[in-house]
Amino acid sequence: MIDKVVTNVHEALLGIEDGMTLMLGGFGLCGIPENSIAELVKKGVSNLTCISNNAGVDDFGLGLLLQQKQIKKMISSYVGENNEFERQMLSGELEVDLIPQGSLAERCRAGGTGIPAFFTPSGYGTEVADGKEVRVFNGKPHILENALTADFAIVKAWKGDVAGNLIFKATARNFNPMMAMAGKITIAEVEELVPVGKLDPNEIHTPGIFVQRIFQGLYFEKRIEQRTLRNK
């Protein structure tokens, strides 16, 4: 059995260089690899293409990379919580590819399973379909979407073992499992790292075969993307 544990986040991110494509799991601020993102800021890598459902908020998550202008292109679904993202996009500083959320998830899953492309009705008749092949299935137009892969996929799990098997908790089981499959090298940061045999095989969401590096992260706060209060 291969022990995939690395000692810290610095070691986990070795090999990530300027101009690479990264997949980063998470949904809002839930299930994001926050230790790894903070280390990317420290490394100062630039001209990155980041594939992520969203771009964090201004002072957390991928928003930290945007603040330092380390991201050249975002491939995302929802970006409405980040003012710096909006400013860079409207000024032309940031290249943006907005994708319907289901299509983004399926493009990542397809990349991980070796499917090069697929047809979907999502986005037909909108700017999403510009320049893409259209075919009709059962009387309904579909557009061709290519699979997505990355040089590195970086995910966050609730629990993992030293062989790289991962369990995600609740909503954090969002884009993480399919992105873990689609990276040439997959890095997992986990809240709890355990020996092999401690995880119930029936509860594992991502088998260790997809993970090359794993480490236990440090988490000091639970960030809330939008705090909504009601009057008493």
Which of 72, 5, 80, 77 minimizes the C-alpha distance to 45? Answer: 72
HSE-CB for 101 with a 13 A CA cutoff: 9
> In which band, very low, low, confident or very high, does the pLDDT at 59 lie, cut at 50, 70 and 90?
confident
The one-letter amino acid code at 40 reads L
Alpha helices in the chain (DSSP H): 9-12, 34-43, 63-67, 83-91, 101-113, 176-182
Domains and CATH numbers, the chain: 9-117+148-216 (3.40.1080.10)
Six token digits for residue 60:
């957390």
| Contact in structure between 194 and 159 (CB atoms under 8 Å) | yes
For residue 25, give both structure tokens. Answer: 């799991």
% of the chain surpassing 70 pLDDT: 99
What pLDDT was estimated at residue 81?
78
Q: Is 190 exposed, middle or buried (0-12, 13-18, 19+ CB in 10 A)?
A: buried
pTM: 0.92
Over residues 158-205, the pLDDT tens digits come to: 999 999 999 999 988 999 999 999 999 999 999 999 999 999 999 999
Digit-coded pLDDT (tens) for 91-139? 999 999 999 999 999 999 999 999 999 999 999 999 999 999 999 999 9
Give the separation between CA 44 and CA 228, rounded to whole angstroms.
Answer: 35
- What does pLDDT average to over the chain? 94
